[in-house]
Chain A
Amino acid sequence: MYYLWVFLIGGFVCMLGQMLIIYTNITSARILVTFVLIGVALQAFNVFAPISEFAKAGINVPIIGFGASLAKGAMAGAQSKGLIGAFTGGLEATAGGIAAAVIFAFIFALIFKSKTK
């Protein structure tokens, strides 16, 4: 039954993005940046974990989850390793996602041809 929450919350977050597009004519890069910042802020004030508890993929799949992982990594790094952890923690926590996006983009860019002319 928790799929209903995943659907409702995930859908709602995406609808917020669409509202930004309609009412402010914002570009997709700005949308992604905005939502990453929202994620960082949610994590910084420790409200991401309780939301994630019942929203699950509904909040982790939107790019808000990416921002929250960055902040979570930096906070955990700062706590366990000190200053160097604040530098390394964020990217360490999100390295998998960034690397995957770059690797697959590279492979598929080599294999496929652009459809938009």
Chain B
Amino acid sequence: MDEKKRNEAYNRYVKAKIPKTKAWPSLFNSFLVGGIICCIGQGVNDLIMLWFPSMAEQTAWAYTLIVLIFIASFLTGIGVYDKIGKFAGGGSIVPITGFSNSITSPALEFKHEGIIYGIFVKMFTIAGPVIVTGVVASFVVGLIYLFI
């Protein structure tokens, strides 16, 4: 069997073995969970504004995100967020809670490699690219804004 044929056979084999996510239920689940997470965020924000009426709107949003990040990090620690993630897919990745999960999860997983090389280094495996993209893109926007 020549190489090309072998590769084709292998690709067919891989395609057959990859677990198929059923499109419609998973879209519905991500919609549901994502919507609920956003509503929780709105609830937290409304409570903060209710308890501290003098707080600036931007500060209240910062606290809201910090609360959501705390909850997601804790749920990741006790292993609940992964279960939500299995059900919700994108619904648990796209909200800021997914960002928090993407930092806590590898930190926890690679804890056994030590504090510095495990927790500190692995913490940024997913968050690193996100922060780099955000910082570079926002700098470019700021720079353009400077000249127009």
Point out the residue from B88, B119, B134, B143 that lies within 8 Å of A40, measured CB to CB.
B134
By a CB distance below 8 angstroms, the chain A residues around B62 are 96-97
| B103 smallest CB distance to A (angstroms) | 4
Check A29 against B102 for contact (C-beta < 8 Å): yes
Q: What's the Cα separation between A32 and B127 when bound, in Å?
A: 9
| B83 smallest CB distance to A (angstroms) | 9
SS class, residues of chain B in contact with chain A: helix
| A112 smallest CB distance to B (angstroms) | 4
Check A40 against B94 for contact (C-beta < 8 Å): no
Output the nearest chain A residue to B124 by Cβ-Cβ distance. A102
Check B69 against A61 for contact (C-beta < 8 Å): no
Q: What's the Cα separation between A25 and B88 when bound, in Å?
A: 16
Binding site for B on A (CB under 8 A): 2-3, 6-22, 28-29, 31-33, 35-37, 40, 43-44, 56-58, 60-63, 65-67, 70-71, 73-75, 77-79, 82-83, 85-87, 89-91, 94, 96-98, 100-102, 104-106, 108-116
